[in-house]
Amino acid sequence: MSRFHLALTVDDLDRSIAFYNRLLGAEPTRVESDYAKWMIDDPRINLSISTRGSRRGVDHVGLQAEDEAEFAGLRERLAEADAPKLDQENTTCCYARSTKTWVHDPDGVAWETFHTHGDATEYGDGTLDAARLAENEACCVPQQAG
C-alpha cells in the first residue's frame, strides 16, 4: 500500500519539529541540520520538512511506493494522465536514493511518485539539484512545463 507524502518548507526547523512531534505524537525518523522526516503509520504518511526553498508552506505532495511492483503500477497510472512527466532514475534527494516520476496537476501542484532504495548522506546530488538550488528552491521539484 502506498504512503501519502507531504513535503513542507519551514522557516525554523527546531520549532517545526517540536510542533509536528506534538501533532503526530511521534519523533522524526530522520533529522539533519536542514531536514526532518516522520514515517507515520496512522495516518499512513511520509511527512518531511526542510528549510531549503524560498517559499514557505507546501513544497510538493506525492505517493511513496513500498516496492518496485507498486511503483510500476503508479507509473502506469501516470502514463494515463494528460500531463507531461519527468522520470528520474536512481536520484538522490531529501537524504534518500530513489526512483521517481513527477507530474503537475491541472492547477500546477507538483506530484512526486517514488520508490526509495536507501538512505543518502547528502540532501541531493541529482542533475535537477544545481538548477533548483540556483533558483533558491528545493532540489526535488522540477519546473512545470509550459
pLDDT tens digits for 47-93? 999 998 878 999 999 999 999 999 999 999 988 888 899 999 999 98
- Is there a domain that residue 144 lies in? no
Rounded CA separation 98/92 (Å): 6
Contact 110, 96 (CB under 8 A): no
- Is there a domain that residue 49 lies in? yes
The pLDDT score that the predictor gives to residue 34 is 96
Q: What is the CATH number of the domain that holds 58?
A: 3.10.180.10
Report the share of the chain in percent with pLDDT over 70. Answer: 85
- Is there a domain that residue 145 lies in? no
- Would the pTM count as exceeding 0.75? yes
SS3 100: strand
Q: How many domains, the chain? A: 1
Copy the grid coordinates of residue 106.
491541472
Q: How confident is the model at residue 130 (pLDDT cuts 50, 70, 90)?
A: very low
Residues 6+ apart with CB under 8 A from 28: 17, 20, 21, 36, 37, 38
**Distinct helix (H) and strand (E) counts, the chain:** 3, 8
Least confident of 26-30, 46-50, 101-105, 106-110: 106-110
The pLDDT score that the predictor gives to residue 10 is 97
- Is there a domain that residue 80 lies in? yes
Instruction: Fill in the DSSP letter of residue 91.
Output: E
Least confident of 9-13, 73-77, 90-94, 130-134: 130-134
Which residues form the domain of 89?
3-139
